[in-house]
């Protein structure tokens, strides 16, 4: 069965520090998608990125970057030069697609606190 593990429950950094949020997943499917969502204190879930299982290229978007490694079943998320506005809970999620399922399986989330 599919599983997403975010071992870091809470991380606290000082503004301008770089921080990496870890995500390890388990699936038997060969086709799957990985996602990151941000949940700020206001509570909504904000889509950040989607990656499919056939695309291991790392991606950079501004201060955000993602490192997908199938060999270690990991999809880690790095924030460079963190800012107070980055404070939120970040969820990694998996969608298995061999049988056409679309349900997202979420990890338990990592709470990031960026101190000024």
Residue of the chain from 19, 25, 35, 88 that contacts other proteins (CB under 8 A) = 35
- Least Å distance, CB 106 to other proteins, is 4
Question: Per DSSP, what are the bridge partners of residue 68?
Answer: 75
Residue of the chain from 77, 82, 91, 112 that contacts other proteins (CB under 8 A) = 91
47 interacts with other proteins by CB under 8 A: yes
Q: What are phi and psi of 5, to 5 degrees?
A: -120, 125
Long-range contact list for 45-52, CB < 8 A, 24+ apart? 45/91, 48/77, 49/77, 51/75
Nearer to other proteins, 13 or 104 (CB): 104
- Least Å distance, CB 47 to other proteins, is 6
Distance CA 83, CA 87 (A): 8
**Residue numbers at the binding site for other proteins (CB under 8 A):** 33, 35, 37, 42-47, 50, 52, 91, 93, 95, 101-109
């Amino acid at each position: 069965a599919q599983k997403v593990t975010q071992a870091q429950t809470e991380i606290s950094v000082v503004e301008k520090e770089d921080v990496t949020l870890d995500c390890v997943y388990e699936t038997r499917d060969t086709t799957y998608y990985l996602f990151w969502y941000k949940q700020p204190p206001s509570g909504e879930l904000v889509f950040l990125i989607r990656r499919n299982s056939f695309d291991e290229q790392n991606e950079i978007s501004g201060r955000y970057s993602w490192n997908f490694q199938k060999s270690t079943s990991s999809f880690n998320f790095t924030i460079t030069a963190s800012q107070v506005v980055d404070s939120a809970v970040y969820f990694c999620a998996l969608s298995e697609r061999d049988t056409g399922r679309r349900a997202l399986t979420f990890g338990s989330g990592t709470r990031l606190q960026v101190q000024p």
